[in-house]
Structure 1
Amino acid sequence: MSKTKLAIDVVTDLRNLAGSIETLVFALESNKSESGAPVEKKETIENKESKKSPKPSKAKLPTLEDVRAKLAALSQDGKQVQVKELITGFGAKKLSDIPVDKYPELLEDAEKL
């Protein structure tokens, strides 16, 4: 294996590690904000909304972890450049910069790769 190929592999691994660390931090921050009273209020609001309309108008939005898993699988299949272009196509430098409401569209585009 050439030194250049090895260096590229190291860079790819470091990017994947950074993404995993970012996901972990996001999960930890989510756990903090979900503990205590705010969660009860959120559940109350969701319960009220579900009582108003018996049919769910929207499908459940994918999570950051869902999207990251799909994009990581594509990256490991040698499509790092396409994945990066997909993220930048949404006007973001990194996955976590993309708004949650764009995740379904992002996953749809990822399926086309």
Structure 2
Amino acid sequence: MGKMNEMSQAIADLRSATATISDVADWLTQQFSDENDSKQQIPKSAVKEKPTPKPPLTLEQVRAVLAEKSRAGHTAEVRELLQKYGAAKLSAVNPADYEALMKDTEVLGDGK
């Protein structure tokens, strides 16, 4: 299962890189197709890389973080967080809530 997630991430990264290369190629074509304006400077906005969307968190990634917090003595807090998201166990948490759950998990143990 882990290899499939890695493959999916690699494919997503390749698609993102392809889109960026295509944008640069379009910009270069536009810049050099007009021979009269050959001395134009490259606008900074054309060179900036578009922020790549963050890949969605997987069950395995969330499970690893929650397991670490549990081993650090925060088992009760982890259970409370799961209940906050309407689940008795992690597999019952809606994947759309993983990001928020991870943010809530970050603060566990900060107030030792």
Give TM-score scaled by structure 1 length: 0.52
Normalized per residue, which structure has more helix?
A: 1
Q: Which amino acid aligns with 1:112?
A: V
- 2:64 is aligned, of 54, 61, 69, to 69
Equivalenced residue count is 75
Identify which of 54, 61, 64 aligns with 1:59.
Answer: 54
Equivalent residue, structure 2, for 1:96: 91
1:103 and 1:58 map into 2 onto residues whose CA distance is 16
RCO comparison, higher one (Cα < 8 Å, 6+) = 1
Larger Rg, first or second structure (1 or 2): 2
Distance (whole Å) between structure 1 residues aligned to residue 87 and residue 69 of structure 2: 18
Q: Which residue of 2 aligns with 1:81?
A: 76
Q: Name the SS of the counterpart of 1:105 in structure 2.
A: helix
Equivalents in 2 of 1:58, 1:99: separation in Å?
A: 20
Task: From the superposition, tell whether residues 87 and 59 of structure 1 become closer, same or farther in structure 2 (CA, over 3 Å).
Answer: same
Q: What secondary structure, in the 3-state scheme, does the structure 2 residue paired with 1:84 have? A: helix
Alpha-carbon distance in structure 1 between the residues aligned to 2:50 and 2:94: 25
Structure 1 residue 58 displacement after superposition:
3.5
Seen in structure 2, the aligned counterparts of structure 1 residues 96 and 58 have a Cα distance that, compared at 3 Å, is same
Residue 57 of structure 1, CA deviation: 6.7
Q: Which runs of 5+ in 1 are unaligned?
A: 1-26, 32-38
Any stretches of 5+ residues in structure 2 without a counterpart?
24-48
Distance 2:87 2:107 in 1: 19
> Per-residue deviation at 1:59?
1.3
Cα deviations by residue, 1:9-55 (Å, 9 ceiling, x for unpaired): xxxxxxxxxxxxxxxxxx39x96xxxxxxx9xxx7xxx5xx85x994
Following superposition, the deviation at residue 56 of structure 1 comes to 5.6
Q: RMSD of the alignment, in Å?
A: 3.1
